Amino acid sequence: MKQIFLTLILFVAIQSIVAQDKHILIKDSTDSKSITKKTFDISEVEVTAKLNDANLKSGSTGLTINVKQLKELPKFVGESDPYKALQYMGGVSQAGEANSGLYVRGGNNDQNLILFNGSAIQNPTHVLGMFSVFNPDLVGEMRFIKSGMPAEYGGRLSSIVEISTDQRIPDSLKLNGSIGLISSRISTQIPINSRFSVYGSWRGSYISSIILPLLAKAGIDSLLTQNKYEFWDANAGFNLRLSSKTKLNGHFYTGKDELGIHELKKYEMKENKTFWNNTAAGLQLNHIFNENFSLNQQLNYSKFHIQSTFEWFDSKQELQSQFENFSYKADFLNLTGKHKLKYGTELSYNAAVPHFIRNDSILPIEINDERNNINSTQATLFFRDEYSFCKWQINAGLRLNLYAHIGPYTDFDDNGDVAYAKNKIVKTYWGLEPRFYSRYLLNSESSLKFAATRHIQYINQIPVFSFGVPTDLQIPASLYVQPQGSWHFSGGFFRNFRSNTWETSMEVYYKTLENQLEFKNGIEATFTNSMFEKNLLVGKGWTYGAEWKLSKNLGKFTGWISYNLAWSYRQFDQINKGIPFLARNDRRHDISVVGLYQLNDNWNFSSVFVYATGSRLNLPVSWYVVDNKLIFEYGKYNAFELPAYHRLDISANYKLKPKRGLKSELNFSIYNVYNRANPFQVYFSKKSFESNKFNFHLSMAYLLPIIPSVSWTFHLN
């Protein structure tokens, strides 16, 4: 990695030395005598716009999301969140209460590649999933790809979410911020000169220090007010234009969450404290050789770490998990006639600490030290050609991956341990990922799209708990864990009406899932520190469905309605007698209704209604006692369906009069208007225990009632 970094710095230095003349000759064709031989040193002008018919003509690189529109959606306790708003887009199932995960076309949450300025983000959510890690004031552009994934993207099965900060150099100081009931934020962009600018931001919550004490004074349950929910994050970066053809951008992100839950009855846990943090950093160097040929290089780093401490059976436990990634990517863009060629390479190094547990007393489970960290490297070559002719657009590509699990690593075995030295290859995998996408314009108002793509994912994420804390084990492909795989087929019809004022679409898809993982013996095996790689069940899955969407883009009233009809199945030989069963994230129906209304220059309103069929879970159908031990009897796997999830959010924004260049607005919002008790956790609780007689009943916990909020947002530029 050091050699790659030095090479990148050397390339930057060379480009700054050999940069072409800063002046641009401008000729006035109407009066050549006026400025024919004059030169002007002008600033770069960048013009961006969204085509009205982008949904018809968009290629396999997906649609650029209207970030400004998503920021106008109802705010949760005063915080706008474009990333969380992706749940309202077609093809993305509602994640549930206090969860901003993305479940795209039946895939799992870990099967989405989340990129922030090129750096992979392993856990994109803050405490309980209420907020994402992306400060909305810094989000400049966002792209979402759920089908026809181009060859330059890989490593995930379901989707790509690419978020970038504004990389333009502002003309003057910009200051943005917001003060709300639960959190506040501030960000700034500072132009040092016409070629160099820096930016920074900070965001933090004060739930435990202000909100919960107020609830305690209002007589709210004392156990609730003893809980702790806090988070903060910070960003810093720079934009540097080395020449008219060379740009260098850098960014750094760090954030931390703290969660303390007084009691978790389901797991016989008492005091529980968890913190997790994300770190990401990177450099992006873009150079334009000529109008048809350019090179973009990225050097990125990301890290996710989580640590939990809890009391379990009167014993204090500690769990840690960590995933670290270094990557370098170079891609060339070459325009030749009707062909748009993109090709390059990507190199990465991953270091995973799947779990580490310490205890301070005797547990009712066996403890040993047979565990490993998992290190790996990966090299990828990719190529794609986008060719347009007549009414057709064809995008065909290929990715070639070579992956290696490397030491140090010990294969613990009863017949003798096998140790692998540092950097020695333990296991290798390779794979080809063909990608194909086509679009045919029927006329100026309608089009057809088809895609068939192959995907390979070399990291698995298996949840340990399911109560909103990201205690998921990051398990890369290794000696005993094979990479995930998927084939994704999709097709759709797109039609616009009334000069692109209205957009309609209908898509169908079918997706296979290979090498899906589950724990063999449940959570207890996770706490033994044994080689969990040998304690995994391997199965397969498949998903299919249809998506409809109706959007209105122009006028005072805009918005959309999306509806998903979907099935998601899994099959394991050791689960449910090998019979296929519905996946936990299976939701048959999913509806989102979004409305935005601009009343006048001062007032605008928005609302969101979501409805989703309840997700699946596995519960016992009966219980009995044998030798004074309670035995649960289960029926078909995931045979129970949670109550449907639905809620209504509304919001109003009022623009205040500018004062001394400061523009601001007040936001009034209500989350969960009709106070729906959406399920957060379902479990069996004991009603009584007398003379070896057990009496249980099914309990449901919900987290977020109706929540009104007020916030003040300001802008200075």
Classify burial at 716, counting beta carbons within 10 Å of its beta carbon; exposed 0-12, middle 13-18, buried 19 or more.
middle
Least confident range from 17-21, 32-36, 169-173, 538-542: namely 32-36
**3-class state of residue 214 by DSSP:** helix
Q: Give residue 371's pLDDT.
A: 73
Q: Per-residue pLDDT for 352 more than 60?
A: yes
Least confident range from 151-160, 551-560, 614-623: namely 614-623
**Spatial separation of the C-alpha atoms in residues 135 and 189, rounded to whole Å:** 14
The vertex-276 CA angle with 272 and 278, nearest 5°, equals: 175
How do the domains of the chain map onto residue ranges? 2-9+41-716
54-98 confidence digits (pLDDT tens): 777 776 666 677 788 777 787 776 678 888 888 888 888 876 666
Q: Give residue 300's pLDDT.
A: 97
Q: Which residues contact 683 (CB under 8 A, 6 or more apart)?
A: 265, 266, 698, 699, 701
Q: Per-residue pLDDT for 1 more than 70?
A: no
* Band of pLDDT at residue 31, cut at 50, 70 and 90: very low
Q: Which residues contact 606 (CB under 8 A, 6 or more apart)?
A: 72, 73, 74, 594, 595, 596, 597, 650, 651, 653
- Map tokens 């029926």 to a residue: 635
The whole-number average pLDDT for the span 13-25 is 37
**Spatial separation of the C-alpha atoms in residues 707 and 672, rounded to whole Å:** 7
* Band of pLDDT at residue 11, cut at 50, 70 and 90: very low
**Spatial separation of the C-alpha atoms in residues 193 and 82, rounded to whole Å:** 31
The vertex-189 CA angle with 187 and 192, nearest 5°, equals: 150
Strands (E) across 60-217 are located at 63-65, 92-93, 103-104, 112-116, 119-120, 139-145, 159-165, 174-179, 183-193, 196-205
C-beta separation of 203 from 184 below 8 A: yes
* Band of pLDDT at residue 42, cut at 50, 70 and 90: very low
**Spatial separation of the C-alpha atoms in residues 494 and 443, rounded to whole Å:** 11
Q: Per-residue pLDDT for 384 more than 90?
A: yes
C-beta separation of 239 from 196 below 8 A: yes
Which CA distances in Å does 31 have to 23, 25, 40, 189, 643? 21, 15, 17, 40, 74
Which CA distances in Å does 68 have to 65, 75, 139, 296, 512? 9, 13, 10, 27, 35
Q: Give residue 60's pLDDT.
A: 61
C-beta separation of 537 from 575 below 8 A: yes
**3-class state of residue 361 by DSSP:** coil
Q: Which residues of 406-442 are buried (b: 16+ CB within 10 A; e: fewer)?
A: bbebebbeeeeeeebeeeeebbebebebebbbbbebe
pLDDT above 70 covers what percent of the chain?
76
Q: Give residue 373's pLDDT.
A: 87
* Band of pLDDT at residue 638, cut at 50, 70 and 90: confident
469-521 confidence digits (pLDDT tens): 556 677 899 999 999 999 999 999 999 998 888 999 999 999 999 999 887 65
**Spatial separation of the C-alpha atoms in residues 63 and 68, rounded to whole Å:** 14
The whole-number average pLDDT for the span 148-167 is 92
Domain range 2-9+41-716, CATH architecture: Beta Barrel (2.40)
* Band of pLDDT at residue 25, cut at 50, 70 and 90: very low
Q: Label residue 248 left, alpha or beta by phi (over 0 means left) and psi (-120 to 50 means alpha).
A: beta
**Spatial separation of the C-alpha atoms in residues 629 and 645, rounded to whole Å:** 36
Q: Give residue 123's pLDDT.
A: 83
| Confidence (pTM) | 0.85
Least confident range from 274-283, 448-457, 458-467, 686-695: namely 686-695
The whole-number average pLDDT for the span 428-456 is 95
Q: Per-residue pLDDT for 535 more than 60?
A: yes
More confident site: 707 or 358? 707
Partner residues linked to 376 by β-bridges: 350, 405
Segment holding 216, helix H or strand E: helix 212-217
**Spatial separation of the C-alpha atoms in residues 350 and 478, rounded to whole Å:** 12
**Spatial separation of the C-alpha atoms in residues 511 and 495, rounded to whole Å:** 25
What is the residue-averaged pLDDT of the chain?
81
Q: For residue 409, what are its two tokens?
A: 């690593």
Q: How many residues does the chain have?
A: 717
- Map tokens 């309670």 to a residue: 630
